[in-house]
Amino acid sequence: MTLKINKLTGGYSRIPVLKDVSFKVERGQLVGLIGLNGAGKSTTINHVIGLLVPQKGKITINGITLQDDPQSYKSKIAYIPEMPVLYQELTLKEHLDLTIMAYGLDYSQAWQRAQNLLKTFRLDNKLNWFPAKFSKGMRQKVMIVCAFITEADLYVVDEPFLGLDPLATKDLLDLIAAEKKRGAAILMSTHVLATAQEYCDYFVLLHQGKVRAQGDLEHLRNLYGDFDASLTDLYLGMTQDVNEDD
């Protein structure tokens, strides 16, 4: 599985937010999409999941665009949004049933996975709860469980750490590591740079809608000529260079 973003220019109106963005996410890889508020992380993700249409450039999964084959393209992606989106009138169990149906999963296998995930995220005794009763973090965990029962080829995760407690953050990172091992590709946006530095295999540094640098930590450190630099140092150094140029 390869997600390939090739020279993507796009956004919400004719004035583009993203300019000539290119990078890849390969099987077994966790790629961190790194950037400050407004850098264009969610916009990139909205293009990948097909909510926005490229003005220029192309996004492919295994060589296929959304326009080529919407069913095949979408079935490969599980998306965890920054803001949980739940149906107020459905219980937790009904959310899981809906996901199983939408992805055409084997019911008993998917429920087996769901039981384990519900236990991990301490939701196993809340199957009959409605979203109104959930805390913000619990809602986010429901989205995580729904996404991970699909065993998708590509996970797209938008800023997952802000609403989660430290235990749930660790559980999510363990889950991501397990899915990587299974061969899934993961694109994760975040501005929690210390966590990204520790867990991501590859970084795409976005600033003002452009990719300023990309590579693994070693490559980025080489690029900036500082072999001890943290991801925060590298990112801030890079954005300062750009702001001075502007």
95 phi and psi, to 5 degrees? -65, -40
Q: Where are the alpha helices (DSSP H) in the chain?
A: 41-48, 70-75, 92-102, 107-120, 136-148, 166-182, 193-199, 217-224, 231-245
Contact 31, 5 (CB under 8 A): no
- The nearer residue to ligand ATP, 84 or 96, going by C-beta atoms, is 84
- The nearer residue to ligand ATP, 121 or 202, going by C-beta atoms, is 202
Give the residue from 204, 195, 134 showing the smallest Cα distance to 166. Answer: 195
- The nearer residue to ligand ATP, 3 or 39, going by C-beta atoms, is 39
Residue 13 makes CB contacts below 8 A (sequence gap 6+) with none
Binding site for ligand ATP (CB under 6 A): 12, 17, 35, 37-43, 191
Closest distance of CB 19 from ligand ATP, Å: 11
Q: What is the DSSP-derived secondary structure letter of residue 78?
A: E
Closest distance of CB 42 from ligand ATP, Å: 3
- The nearer residue to ligand ATP, 35 or 114, going by C-beta atoms, is 35
Closest distance of CB 87 from ligand ATP, Å: 22
227 phi and psi, to 5 degrees? -85, -5
Alpha-carbon distance values, 41 to 15, 32, 85, 89, 109 (Å)? 17, 10, 19, 31, 34
- The nearer residue to ligand ATP, 38 or 183, going by C-beta atoms, is 38
d(CA 106, CA 100) in angstroms, rounded, equals 7
Closest distance of CB 147 from ligand ATP, Å: 19
- The nearer residue to ligand ATP, 39 or 114, going by C-beta atoms, is 39
Closest distance of CB 153 from ligand ATP, Å: 23
Closest distance of CB 11 from ligand ATP, Å: 6
Tokens of 57: 């450039």
Closest distance of CB 40 from ligand ATP, Å: 4
Cross-strand partners of 190: 34
- The nearer residue to ligand ATP, 12 or 107, going by C-beta atoms, is 12
Give the residue from 54, 49, 62 showing the smallest Cα distance to 20. Answer: 54
d(CA 76, CA 151) in angstroms, rounded, equals 9
